[in-house]
Chain A
Amino acid sequence: MPSIILSILARADSYGYDIIQQVHDLSGGEIEWSAGSLYPVLHRMKANGHIEDYWVEPESGRKRRFYRITAKGEKALIKERENWLAVHGLLARLWSEISLETKGGAA
């Protein structure tokens, strides 16, 4: 979850509701996050120093908390991406060699 958030924020600053929307849209509706699970993660990431927040208060309309990625967060994201790609590559190779049909599928 933190990796996805970091990736989204790396594209542009965003706020809670928007992050959930982006995840929903980008995953084609496959991944649905709730506010109850997102905000704690945002909090922890903020405490870790991977992201920081700021408030935007337009003249008309209500104030909104935005998050942006920090330098530390960017480093973490790069590392995360390397790890992830390594695992991805490995799994891709492994899965390409075995049949992935579920065994119980016929019944």
Chain B
Amino acid sequence: MSGSKSPKSPFQFDIENAIANWRQFVSRTRSLEPEDLDELEDHLRSELEATAGDGLPDDERFRRAARRIGSLDGLDASYQQVMRDKRWALEQWPVRLSAGLDLLGSYVRAAWSNMVRHKGHALLNLTGLGMALAACILILVHVSSELGFDRYHEDADRIYRIEMLVPKDQHWGMTYLTVGPQLADNIPGMEHVARVTSPQSMIMRVDDVGFIEDRFMFGDPSLFDMFDFPVVLGDASGLERPQTLMLSASSASRFFGKKNPIGQTIEVGIRSSDPPVDYEVVGVFEDIREDSHFVVDFVASQATRLATMDEEVQWHNLAFTYVTLHPDVSVNDFKAQLDLFWTDVFKDRGYQAETRPVVQPLTRIHLHGQITSRDIQPQGRFSYILIFIGAAVLLLLVACVNYINLTVARYMARVREVGVRKVIGATRRQLVVQFYGEAVGYTTGAFLLAGLIILAAYPFLDVSFSVAWQWKESLQLLGLFLIPAIGLIALTSGSYPALFLSAFSPNAVLKGATPSGHRALLRKGLLVFQFLITSVLIVATVVVHRQLEFAQDTRFGFEQEQILLLQTRGALPDGSDAMRSALSAIPGIEAVSSASGFPGYPSALRWFDEVEEYDGEGVVLEMFWGDATYVSTLGLVLAEGRFFDPDRPGDRGYAVLLNEAAVRAYGWQEAIGKRLGTGDQQREVVGVVRDFHTTSMFEEIGPVIIELGTSSAWMGAKVSTQGLRETMAAVQSVWATFIPGRPFEYSFLDDDFKAMYQQEQRLARLFTGFSVLTIIVAILGLIGLVAFDGRQRRKEIGIRKSMGASTSDIVYLLSGRFFVLVLVGFAASIPVSMILTSWWLDRFAYQVSVSPVLFVLAGTLILTVALLTVGIQAARSAQVAPVDCLRQD
């Protein structure tokens, strides 16, 4: 111990100082625990002690001791590995979380360096997964928006709508007007009862300005207690008086500008001919949210309507009837009581006794509401939500399969790497972690890409996609979805490489055995599966489009396309003839007639108690009154008998036309001359028209009766499509002459019919998007696989080329088997598509036929695209000069 005892000078070597420096250096450059540092320091000191008696200078002794410790590289790695395991096993979750994030970070880094090394592959993989994810997230947002309808009301889970099953399995959303108050009186446990009528179209006038408003209902004041419809001005209690109304904030500003609307008067009339009724504005409510099944701007007091009705009339009018149950009342008890009440109150009411009540939860109305009866607004379809989810899952599956296929293909090239790593001591676990880690990294990347795609696509989404799209909620949703989804997708797509590749025996791998057999089979299987799904989606898309076309464009038995409808609303009780002739004088107009209604609009119902040669159940007929030209303007086709004859005075109020469905319903062999009803109500059948659609194709054509009568609710004109603009201008000036002061109100019959298929149109758009996406994703996968195959077989290609094979021989060689796989996938898809499409089509009463031609076309499309892809990619592989191929490896 010579030097260390002497007084210290800055130039003299101090062994303690050196040890401290060494320790600091090690701790800074290596990530070691303090305990491990202690151990190393002890080791160093032991080394130093061993040389204490050698008489060497301290600095030399220190250098030797440090050298003997050797390189600390191995130390570092093994310490870290052990530490990591220890952390996961022992420490508390916050530490675990941060360790987990570290781990995630290292996976992302690993995946990133991998991506950079294989840019093409990464691009294929990321694009496919990213697009599929973007589509799925959008679907999720849509679905959650649809499922979230009407949930914003505080009492949403206690509000029910009383609906009704009527004979012949019809389900109506409404019940009789009288039911609501009777419920309130007879069944305990209800907090609120409220009724609204179905929306009506009204002519409204403030001072000299007229408006036509479709979102007008009569409602009880309790609506505003029951639902979260905030009242901004005034008070809903004002609705207890007759001739009062409340309107939405936006309508108030339309009608009154900045003026205070409370106390103002609005003239309201259903038809121009009726004297308008003055309504006093008693309140303004916030515009109803879009995620509500209510679509209403004006709520007029129910009392106005009730004032004109006696008890019996209320038994024949319908209203949507809502109840809020007391929190303590179970819905089952309520149902039981309602059933008892119903039986009791309805028992003497003839055919009405056959109705049964249905208790529909508020939150189900939007998706499960009735399609057939007219609901407050066209409601969503639950089955479509399921289809959306199904399609999203399929797409995601295709993308995952793609990932597996591409990854496995590339990992084949990494088999050697795996072997080497195993030999130098990597455990299987490390490899598994590495492969899963890469999958997590890729999936995270794909999610980021999906986020970008959604941002880019957002401006193009239409409102119907998600009425309540709100970033905050969507982000929350995404947050909830994101982490499990990354995990799940990574698990799905990373499992194969992780579990399979890591299990290879290093010996076999290093000896150059490329285990191929069943892996190739699996890859082939996945490819087949992918094209199976793609084909199903393509066929489904085509079928949906064709059915929509069929539903919208097929002749319905009348001249749909060229019929211009003017809603005159009885403006011209006497002047309708004059207006009709003025319209007929316009060159572009071929025929004009006035009528009570047109197909596609609500019509009157009619039934006869006594019918000649018929004594079955009462047949409910849909009824239209029209003038003598009505049937010819519509272009209805006569099956037998005759149309109305304007020259026979006896036709008016007596002669009727039936459609074939009505004749079938009565079971007559011969319809002409049959009498319906008795006394004043008696009618005689003079003709039968071929069936025509009065509503959407979801419903079968029902019995229809047409009477000759004067109704000027509507005017229909058959217009030539030539010079439509001039014709319309002329029609508008006629309108202005005969119905001054009212907005020009018209529509085309075909547009109105198209509007019935909104949901189906959305479905069609969605399916188009989905099939395009899946094709792209599947094609990306195909490109990757063919490219990989070409690379694997470079040597073979080189040899074949040097033996004289032409490029086209090679292309044929490379593409042949992929083509066969695509073909197999398509063939397997045919039964699946047939089942799925027929399930969907079953909801329509009238369907397009799904012909084999369709499958041939879809198949040709898929095979052509696949062939092109495979061919081009194979050609690229085949064009390499043989020398280059052979020189490799």
Contacts and interface: CB of A to CB of B under 8 A. Distances in A.
Chain A complexes with chain B: yes
Interface of A: 15-18, 34-37, 39-41, 43-44, 46-47, 62-65
Contact of B68 (A15, A35, A43, A65): A35
B38 A34 contact: no
Interface string B847-873: 000000000000000000000000000
10 contacts: A16-B43, A17-B42, A18-B46, A35-B69, A36-B69, A36-B74, A39-B39, A40-B75, A44-B82, A64-B39
A35 B70 contact: yes
Nearest to A33: B70
Contact of A62 (B45, B69, B70, B78): B45
Contacts of B329: none
B82 A47 contact: yes
Contacts of A47: 81-82, 85-86
B68 to A, nearest CB: 6
A17 B74 contact: no
Nearest to A34: B70
B78 A43 contact: yes
B44 to A, nearest CB: 8
Contacts of B75: 36, 39-40
A25 to B, nearest CB: 12
Contacts of A36: 69-75
B79 interface: yes
Contacts of B38: 63, 65
B417 interface: no
B77 interface: yes
A28 B143 CA distance: 77
Contacts of B36: 39
B74 A40 contact: yes
A43 B43 CA distance: 15
Contacts of A65: 35, 38-39, 42
Given A17-B42, A36-B74, A65-B42, 13 more contacts: A16-B39, A16-B43, A18-B46, A34-B70, A35-B43, A35-B69, A36-B70, A36-B73, A39-B40, A39-B78, A40-B74, A40-B78, A65-B35
B78 A17 contact: no
Contact of A44 (B46, B68, B71, B78): B78
A34 B69 contact: yes
Contacts of B71: 34, 36
B70 A17 contact: no
Contacts of A40: 74-75, 77-79
B174 to A, nearest CB: 73
Contacts of B228: none
A15 B42 contact: yes
Given A35-B70, A36-B74, A65-B38, A17 B79 contact: no
Contacts of B74: 36-37, 40
Contacts of A39: 36, 39-40, 75, 78
Most buried by A among B75, B77, B79, B85: B75
B278 interface: no
Contacts of B45: 62
Main secondary structure of the interface of A (DSSP, over half): helix
Interface string B786-802: 00000000000000000
B225 interface: no
A48 to B, nearest CB: 10
A2 to B, nearest CB: 12
Contacts of B47: 17
B30 to A, nearest CB: 11
Given A17-B47, A62-B42, A64-B42, A46 B70 contact: no
B232 to A, nearest CB: 69
Interface in B35-60: 35-36, 38-40, 42-43, 45-47
A70 to B, nearest CB: 16
Counting from the closest, the 7 A-B pairs by CB-CB distance are A34-B70, A36-B70, A40-B78, A17-B46, A35-B69, A65-B39, A40-B74
Contacts of B69: 34-36
B409 to A, nearest CB: 35
A46 B82 contact: yes
A46 B82 CA distance: 9
A41 B74 CA distance: 9
Contacts of B78: 39-41, 43-44
Nearest to B85: A47
Interface in B79-116: 79, 81-82, 85-86
Contacts of B77: 40
A30 B38 CA distance: 29
A63 B42 contact: yes
Contacts of B85: 47
B82 to A, nearest CB: 5
Contacts of B35: 65
A36 B70 CA distance: 5
Nearest to A63: B38
Nearest to B66: A35
Nearest to B36: A39
Nearest to A64: B42
A35 B47 CA distance: 10
A44 B39 CA distance: 16
Contacts of A63: 38, 42
A43 B70 CA distance: 17
Contacts of A62: 42, 45
A15 B41 CA distance: 13
Interface in B248-305: none
A17 B39 CA distance: 10
Nearest to A35: B69
A36 B78 CA distance: 11
A34 B71 CA distance: 8
Contacts of B81: 44, 47
A86 to B, nearest CB: 20
A18 B81 CA distance: 25
A43 B79 contact: yes
Nearest to A17: B46
A49 to B, nearest CB: 12
B40 A35 contact: yes
Contacts of B46: 17-18
B338 to A, nearest CB: 69
Contacts of A34: 68-71
Contacts of B68: 34-35
Contacts of B82: 43-44, 46-47
A29 to B, nearest CB: 14
Contacts of A16: 39, 42-43
Contacts of A43: 78-79, 82
A47 B47 CA distance: 26
Nearest to B67: A34
Most buried by A among B36, B38, B42, B45: B42
Contacts of A46: 82
A63 B39 CA distance: 9
A37 to B, nearest CB: 6
A41 B70 CA distance: 14
B556 to A, nearest CB: 78
A21 to B, nearest CB: 8
A66 to B, nearest CB: 10
B272 to A, nearest CB: 91
A63 B882 CA distance: 69
A43 B36 CA distance: 10
B38 to A, nearest CB: 7
Contacts of A35: 40, 43, 68-70
Nearest to A39: B75
A47 B842 CA distance: 64
A43 B33 CA distance: 12
Contacts of A18: 46
Contacts of A41: 78
A31 B42 CA distance: 22
Contacts of B42: 15-17, 62-65
A40 B70 CA distance: 12
A47 B429 CA distance: 14
A17 B70 CA distance: 13
